[in-house]
Amino acid sequence: MSVSEATGAVLVICAHTGDFVWRAAGAMALASASGANVTVLCLSFGERGESAKAWRDGLELAEIKALRRQEAIQAAEVLGAAIEFADAGDYPLRESDKLIDEIVRCYRRIRPAVVLTHPPADPYNPDHPAAARMALQARVFAQAVGYEATGEPLGAPPVFLFEPHQPEQCDFKPDVLLDITEVFDVKRRAMECLKAQRHMWDYYTDLARRRGVQLERNAGPNLGLLQSTMAEAYMRVYPQVTRTLA
């Protein structure tokens, strides 16, 4: 199963409100365009670690959280996704049984066919691995018949790890390149909802272009032709399940 072919629900679990926009917005826009239900669960607003401009502008914590919340709601709307906030705090995002239980309940309710989250290593931002660890643990707990939570046990949705800001430092080596050309304008509009992180808009546009070149190279011969493919890179956690090798 690939992200673009997903017809079941898609659940994105991220540490901060900006993360899904830079790293998974293409997959989310493709899935919602195909009619899938897409939900993003933001464990925090990124109010302390990813809101430098708002702090420099003299805003208070509550105002920053409200601002980040509003921007994320707008971005999710552009992507056709539902959005939920755990408001668990960042820097640090603390791992707890309570938060993992909340994520289990989210899995049981959404019943995702595909899960997207952070890679489990990121020396620049400990909240990202914390979110990934909790997302992966909660997925396993949600599968257990004996885990006490409302709803049927979860199946085995594949987990795709989205690309971190500095992939080499995070042991990120793509094994899925997702063609997001047809929805890239949607991703760009979602990125532009995050006005305080303007410096990221072009960075993630350039990254999509580079991943697009790599996608073409992996799809066929190198003909040296100009092309405008845009892509997002992912790693898989679990083996692909298939009846044919393709």
Interface residues toward Zn ion, by CB under 5 A? 15-16, 19
What residue type is assigned to position 85 of the chain?
F
Least distance between Zn ion and beta carbon 21 (Å): 10
The helix or strand, by DSSP H or E, that contains position 213, with its residue range, turns out to be helix 199-219
Q: Which is nearer to Zn ion, 16 or 65 (CB)?
A: 16
- In the bound state, the residue with its beta carbon closest to Zn ion is 16
Judge whether 93 and 106 are in contact, CB under 8 Å: no
Least distance between Zn ion and beta carbon 81 (Å): 17
Q: How far apart are CA 210 and CA 20, in angstroms?
A: 19
Q: Which is nearer to Zn ion, 39 or 44 (CB)?
A: 44
Judge whether 178 and 2 are in contact, CB under 8 Å: yes
Q: Which is nearer to Zn ion, 24 or 106 (CB)?
A: 24
Least distance between Zn ion and beta carbon 15 (Å): 5
Residues contacting residue 51 through CB under 8 Å, at least 6 positions apart: 45, 64, 67, 68, 196
Least distance between Zn ion and beta carbon 135 (Å): 13
Q: Which is nearer to Zn ion, 102 or 127 (CB)?
A: 127
Strands (E), 29-162: 38-42, 82-85, 114-117, 159-162
Judge whether 64 and 47 are in contact, CB under 8 Å: yes
Q: Which is nearer to Zn ion, 32 or 117 (CB)?
A: 117
Judge whether 158 and 176 are in contact, CB under 8 Å: no
Pairing of strands 231-236, 114-117: unpaired
Least distance between Zn ion and beta carbon 122 (Å): 9
Least distance between Zn ion and beta carbon 125 (Å): 6
Q: Which is nearer to Zn ion, 152 or 168 (CB)?
A: 168
